Amino acid sequence: MTPTGTGQSISPRSAKRRRRAKGGVATAMAVAILAVIVGVALLAPVLAPYDPYEVDLSAALQPPGSAHLLGTDMQGRDLLSRIMYGTRLTLLTSLTALVSGSVVGALLGLAAVFFPSSDAVIGRLLDILLSFPAILFGLALGASLGPGLLPVTIALSIATVPEVGRIARAAGLTIARQEYMQSGRAIGLGKTTLFFKYLAWNCMPTIFVFLTLRFGFIILLGAGLNFLGLGAAPPAAELGVLAAEGRNVLAFAPHVATYPSLTIFLLVLSLNVLGDVLRDKLDKRLL
Q: Which residues bind another protein (CB under 8 A)?
A: 1, 3-7, 10-11, 15, 18-19, 22, 128, 131-136, 139-140, 142-147, 216, 220-221, 223-224, 227-230, 240, 243-244, 246-247, 250-251, 254, 257-258, 261-262, 264-265, 268-269, 271-273, 276
Helix 79-114 × helix 149-176 angle, to 10°: 40
Which is nearest to 287 in space by CA: 215, 220, 224, 209?
209
| Of residues 52 and 222, the one with the C-beta less far from another protein | 222
Quick check: 282 and 209 in contact, CB under 8 A? yes
Which is nearest to 217 in space by CA: 133, 123, 117?
133
CB of 6 to another protein, least distance (A): 6
CB of 253 to another protein, least distance (A): 11
CB of 145 to another protein, least distance (A): 7
CB of 91 to another protein, least distance (A): 15
Q: How far is CA 119 from the centre of its chain?
A: 27
| Of residues 83 and 221, the one with the C-beta less far from another protein | 221
Query: Which stretches of the chain are assigned E, i.e. beta strand?
Result: none
| Of residues 180 and 265, the one with the C-beta less far from another protein | 265
Q: Give the list of residues 6+ apart from residue 142 with CB closer than 8 angstroms, or none.
A: 151, 152, 155, 225, 230
CB of 15 to another protein, least distance (A): 5
CB of 232 to another protein, least distance (A): 14
CB of 138 to another protein, least distance (A): 9
Neighbours of 194 (CB within 10 A): 16
C-alpha distance from residue 65 to each of 49, 73, 177 (Å): 13, 13, 61
Rounded Cα–Cα distance for residues 85 and 251 (Å): 25
| Of residues 65 and 133, the one with the C-beta less far from another protein | 133
Angle at 160 between CA 283 and CA 24, to 5 degrees: 35
| Of residues 103 and 139, the one with the C-beta less far from another protein | 139
CB of 246 to another protein, least distance (A): 8
Quick check: 277 and 22 in contact, CB under 8 A? no
| Of residues 139 and 236, the one with the C-beta less far from another protein | 139
Which is nearest to 109 in space by CA: 127, 85, 87?
127
| Of residues 11 and 118, the one with the C-beta less far from another protein | 11
| Of residues 183 and 248, the one with the C-beta less far from another protein | 248
Quick check: 71 and 62 in contact, CB under 8 A? yes
